[in-house]
Amino acid sequence: MLGNGIVIEGLQKRYGSGDTLVDALKGVDMQVAPAEVVGLVGPSGSGKSTLLKCLGAVIEPSAGRMRLGEKIIYDGGWKIRDLRALRRDNIGFVFQAPYLIPFLDVLDNVALLPMLAGERNGVARKRAMELLEALDVGHRAKAMPAQLSGGEQQRVAIARALVNHPPVILADEPTAPLDSQRALAVIAILNDMARQYETAIIIVTHDEKIIPTFRRIYHIRDGRTHEEAGEGKSPHELVKTEKA
């Protein structure tokens, strides 16, 4: 389990060279502790997606340092050879759209990750089922993704992100397609899961409804982050208020 969350120091990312050089990230500092949910907000083109891709080991930063728990994963270059295994075992992804695999049923969409990690099918499915039940979609385990509502699909995507118990979850606008009540319900689930599994969660969002739920928020502008305290309201309470 991750000792002290994810730590980023002076992370930079440059695209192009010469006249076409673009500094997408100019020195990002960030720290997210286990069981903590932080928000990452900023205008379009501020570098949110680039930061998410760097954190997700999808693109290589140009400079800086990234640490997952005690493990240094980037320090001027990748320190881990197998980035796919790093992603599979340490990073969960939740996207704006759920992007479930359309030809797998709900249970196997979630169980696929542990199977890819070498887990036996039975064990992987048992673990996936436990998570689906915890997220209140266990009864749809045999359904195909196209048969689910948007909220159910997003919960399955969260289950998929959590199934390998990764130390970090990166969520890219996970509530964008949902109405406010469902959006808050998803954030409540992410908060609960963060606590239950000691997972550090970074949520990129524009969604005004969910921003009050964060205790800490990183604003990103012109490739730099600024930290500020959030309101830290309970999403469960907000859901009740919405319902009322």
Partner 1 sequence: MISLAGRDILHGWVRFLMTGFGLGLLIGVTLSMAGIYRGMVDDANVLIDNSGADLWVVQQGTLGPYAEPSSLYEDSYRSILGMAGVARAANVTYLTMQVRHGGGDVRAMVVGVVPGGPGEPGQPGFLVAGRHLTGGHYEVVADVKAGCALGDTVIIRRNRFRVVGLTRRMVSSGGDPMLFIPLKDAQEAQFLKDNDMLLQQRRRTAQNPLFNRPGVPGLLDAIIASQTTSVYVNAVLVQLKPGYAPEAVGKDIQRWQRLQVYTRSQMRTILVDKLIATSAKQIGMFLVILSIVSAAIVAFIIYTMTMAKIREIAVLKLIGTRNRVIASMILQQAIGLGAIGFVVGKIAATLWSPFFPRYVLLEPGDAIRGFIIVMVISVLASILAITAALKVDPAEAIGG
Nearest residue to 64 via CA among 96, 17, 110, 25 = 25
Residue 112 within binding range of partner 1, rule CB under 8 A: yes
Of residues 95, 212, 215, 224, which one binds partner 1 by CB under 8 A? 95
Touching partner 1, residues 142-201 (CB under 8 A): 144, 160, 172
Q: Which residue has the tokens 């695999």?
A: 101
CB of 111 to partner 1, least distance (A): 8
Residue 84 within binding range of partner 1, rule CB under 8 A: yes
Phi-psi region of 42 (alpha: psi -120 to 50; beta: other; left: phi over 0): left
CB of 226 to partner 1, least distance (A): 20
Residue 56 within binding range of partner 1, rule CB under 8 A: yes
Tokens read off for 32? 């997210």
The enclosing H or E element of 19 equals none
Residue 4 within binding range of partner 1, rule CB under 8 A: no
- CA separation for the pair 111, 90 (Å, rounded): 16
Part in contact with partner 1 (CB under 8 A); list of ranges 52-60, 148-156, 205-213, 224-232: 52-60
Task: Considering the complex, state which of residue 38 and residue 184 has its C-beta at the smaller distance from partner 1.
Answer: 38
- CA separation for the pair 80, 8 (Å, rounded): 16
Binding residue count for partner 1, defined by CB under 8 A: 33
Provide the residue type at 111 as one letter. Answer: A
On whether the CB atoms of residues 135 and 186 are closer than 8 A, the answer is no
Task: Considering the complex, state which of residue 93 and residue 197 has its C-beta at the smaller distance from partner 1.
Answer: 93
Burial (CB count <10 Å: 0-12, 13-18, 19+), residue 20: exposed
DSSP letter string over 97-126? S----TTS-HHHHHHHHHHHTT--HHHHHH
Binding mask 123-152 for partner 1 (x = CB under 8 A): ---------------------x--------
Residue 220 within binding range of partner 1, rule CB under 8 A: no
- CA separation for the pair 222, 43 (Å, rounded): 9
Neighbours of 226 (CB within 10 A): 11
Task: Considering the complex, state which of residue 72 and residue 101 has its C-beta at the smaller distance from partner 1.
Answer: 101
Residue 22 within binding range of partner 1, rule CB under 8 A: no
Task: Considering the complex, state which of residue 169 and residue 188 has its C-beta at the smaller distance from partner 1.
Answer: 169
Residues shown for the chain? 244
Residue 59 within binding range of partner 1, rule CB under 8 A: yes
Residues that bind partner 1 (CB under 8 A): 48-50, 52-53, 56, 58-59, 84-89, 93, 95-96, 99, 101-104, 108, 111-113, 115-117, 121, 144, 160, 172
